[in-house]
A and B are shown apart, each in its own frame.
Chain A
Amino acid sequence: MRVLLAVVLLAAAPCCAWADASSTDRDLTAIGLEDLMKLEVTSVSRKEEPLFRAASAVTVITAADIARSGAANIPDLLRAVPGLTVAQIDANTWAIGARGFASQYANKLLVLVDGRSVYNPLFSGVYWQLQNLMLEDIERIEVIRGSGGTIWGANAVNGVINIITKRAGDTQGTLAAASGSNTMPARGVARLGGRVAGAGDYRVYGKLDETDLLPSSFGDPGHDASLLGRAGGRFDWRRGTHEEGNVIADWYRGRVDERNTQPSANPPYFLLTDESAQLSGGDVVANWRHVGSARSAVDGRLYYNRDRRLARLMSEDIQTVDLDLHHNWKWAPRNELDWGGGYRVVTFHTAGTPSVHFAKDFQVTQLFSVFAQNALTLVPNRLTLTVGSKLEHNSFTGIEAEPSARLAFAPTPRQTLWAATSRAVRTPAPTDESATAALADFPVGGGTVGELRVVESNEMRSEVMTSGEVGYRVQPGPTWSFDVTAFRNVYDGLGALKPETPYFEPSSGLLVMPADLANSVRGETRGLEWTGKWEPQRRFSLTVSHSLFDINLHQSGPPDPTALTGEGSAARYQLVVQPHWEPVNGVSLDAALFHVDDRPAQLAAAYDRVDTRLAWASPMGMEFAVGAQNLFHDRKVEWGVPEGFRRSAQVRSTVFAKVTWKP
């Protein structure tokens, strides 16, 4: 595989050398004013935004990419990002991770929507079905692979996914869209945007999504349909040239069906339970920026978030209040300081069952954090060194430090060479410390039934990662760009189950085999991620991404067979090819071709997947799109051994049609 990669890179190099020798601008002043305004133009930037000089592995999914992809949800949009693992578990749950460690409860990935963390702190994961924002409202999604600990804090160990919505000023007027597919029978959105003279811009939206059930991993009908409604809005204001801000609010309500496996003391020792979880919740976010001078700007954010989930297996009600302040200050020539702090308080109400419950039904956690990062320009426009750290105090493990150092070198304006080293931390979640869960029941002879049970852990400390990364970005001309990153991460103290002494429990008649969590696994990961983009003209572009990944885990102490599943759950390579073509004005044809290597521990064989979309924009503001997703991969399991109680489903090929009206 490495040989193949080297061959492809070598072949691409002469293409770069040949491509577009004329990379200087032309003088169009001979063309008259009226004619200049009639010209259709291409917009490939030569000097991208500051992200071109960023000393980290960043991939940006733009609003245009989202519109063209035909994806109906955010996880499907993330499939094309190199270094990310995206696997669908059932109709509403996904296992997503960056640089390994993907899981339904992926705790090393931080996900934010407009600065608000959507990571569920109870289980340390993201409920992706609740992040069903209007895709048409997303300005861009920045995916930063690698440690984000210094700026974003604990749990941003392997990556940060930053979903940024459009300003209200960019979503004016009316928009309505409806779509249907064989797995998602109905989806409708409506949005209205306007301006309040002298005050600001606003938008309000409403959305309804219905998903159908998928076949279970055995082929019979599953139980994972859902119906979710969502509404909300945003108001952006600006006062003079020095202050601006926005207020964002969302509300959702719905039902998601679940099929779970629970242990049972009677043969066959497990029960399939089907139930419907009732979900409701919402959030209010206020952002504010004050620009003091050309050298100083302060950002503030305050948000409240509530997620409620009522289900027979486990119910939860989580409320979060968070305040963050950030000062950007050019305090000396060639120096730029970013510093600030935050406070977050989270309350958890839970109600469990014998299969899974928490030691205390009500918990409160507080998190205090400060961070500081200084960017020193060693050579103007060429070499910048950024050094910083975040310090956090959390309720479980006390103080944690996450330092990092990054160096960015731009030998020419069109190239960036960067290197970074950092330390990141994953702090324990309530599930690590105080949850009790029955994993399996089985006969142990003599008529007794044994139960493998996860119990409260007092010993669980933070997991620590140290990483080293290098990368190179080049844009030799307006038609080509190339980006490559290599990394090596070393993990210490990864959590795994540690068996304790079995005991007989008279109340249930079971021989309990307890296991608690301990930091008993060490590991390392290495990988390479690259993306090449070619856009010879406005109507055609081709993007190719490739990632290679290797993971090795070692456990000390009494072995836990599930501890090392991380090794077999990560695909060793993924390849994505995305062509885009506009044959005539208003018609857009897009495809994404994937090849993903096997994940033996998840019983998922290597597979190919094709997504396609054909769209026609009529002059009256209507757009019609049809397409197919997940072709050549029908009725296949992508994640066969999920953590937790959920049963996997077979992912289907889908055919969809969508109509959008935007007068």
Chain B
Amino acid sequence: MMDRTDHPDFEAKVAFLKFATAALFVLFGVRLFYLQVMQGATYRTLAENNYTRTIVMRSPRGIITDRNGRLLCRNRISFSLVLDTAKEGSLEKTIAAMNRILGLSMTEAEVKAALRRSPVPSLAVLARDVPPDWLQKVETHPDELKMLRVETELRRDYPSGPLASHAVGYVGLLSEEEAAALQVRDPDPFIEVGKAGVEKTANAVLMGENGRRTAQVNALGREVEDPRLRLPGVGVQKEPVPGKAVRLNLDLELQRILTEALGEESGAAVFMNPSTGEILAWVSLPGFDPNLFSHTVSARDWQALAEDPRHPLLNRPIQGSYPAGSTFKPFVALVGLEEGILTPGTTFYCPGGWDFGGHTFHCWAKGGHGGVDLLTAIQNSCNVFFYRAGDRVGIDRLAKWGALFGLGSRTGVDLPGEGSGILPSPAWKLSRNMGPWYPGETLPVSIGQGYLTVTPLQLLSFYATIATGGKRYQPRILSGEPRLLSSVEVSPSTLEVIREGLERVVSGGTGKACHIPGLTVCAKTGTAQVVEASAGKDTKLLDKAIRDHAWFAGFAPRENPQVAFVVLVEHGGHGGDLGAKIARAGLEYLFFGKKPGEAEEPSAGPAPLEARGRAPSPSEG
């Protein structure tokens, strides 16, 4: 019989087992002590990081209205498909399941590109404006689509579409660079920032500030509701501050009338209150639909817009740069009068051209204008008079006064991407390494050609300054206090001469098409030569692409001007008719409440704009 006494080493074996068991439990105890007591706080933090997630409380962007409160931009609810790579799972399998379940056809490369674009490296917006039932589809496949979720967001909606698109602008998802520049650190891939127009310039006001709350989530990323698991620190950290509404100076109705008047043409029309700088209309054609950008612009759509030969994305009033053409002539006259070189009685003979330095400079009227004094020269836009006047005034004086009127520099309008045009001078030419200034180069500048280029807004600003008698206001799309840029000292007599000339242009000169009974409109036509070849030719016979641009710029009424305007029709031919007719449509609406197509009402003369409630606010001066 085996007994524990006859069993070899029985006691030793039992002792060994005791020792081994004790050793194992000591090991476990030490390990537990290390994990729970010594490292406990560290693991507690790790556990908390596991289940707390910072959730961004999005602040809605402010709405945008015109001066009468009509909506230009609002928000709408939209659903977006978001990929969260912080969740466990295989990207490859998720994409396959997503394509199968949601009927998409995304490649891994596209998904990775979306991840790279995102300001939050682990999150990517794969599709926006997805059907609401995707929410359910994603929820019902928690295993396969663990890395996906459908989120609600507020998207921009522009009810008037392309109308005023260049003024309002559009938004897009925050890029990494913008996140750094705007100091946005929210872990949210849905932050939209203005990329153009007022959306961009007023971005800080419109955007508001996102709030933050800490949420408790389980391993699937779902929020935990059980109050027993509620921990300190969970809850709202910061309430969101909603973006503020922004009111523009634009009059949507005027905007619409001018846009329709321009029709299929490419061009620009800007109306402004000269004594406040309030911009009443900002038309740039062709326009684009900003709602397109509110959906993530597909590469194809973007390319189509960017490569359109008519450049719909170009904000023509500030980004287009054109020769001023004859609209520059009143400026030359003003400089001559102020410098005492010209008088209202100064008369030159126009035989249809002027020989200068072995070259004949033509007038647009082949037969010539005969003897013309200053007023007639403005009225009929005689080139020869201004060649000779400009020659006498000289480039230096033109450059000095041009700078005073803000030519060659930005107006400071509250829209992004403004260009500055070119105000040529000998110094400018030298700085560009183009050699010394030749007197013959002053001649084309005197009729608004040559090296001179302006943006439509610069030209408008000049005419507005004539209207105010020298006060230059910053042109402003956003409503707010007027801001005086500078006051140009111009003698009242000079101003009277220029105004008289401009009135004659409309009452009996090249701008007759803008003659409105009961309103004294002061304006000037202009033709900006696109190519040298067109000089002196009947532009109607030329190809549209090389036809001259047509200008029409001025203000009204002559006494107490309430609106200044500029109209540019690209390749519109001689400016007399088309530009003047467009301006007339706007003026008739502003002063008589007349909308195109409506039957003409008998009017009791120019009613004060204020009475109609859509007027620019009167200046304080």
- The yes or no verdict on A and B being binding partners is no
Interface residues of A (CB under 8 A from B): none
Interface residues of B (CB under 8 A from A): none
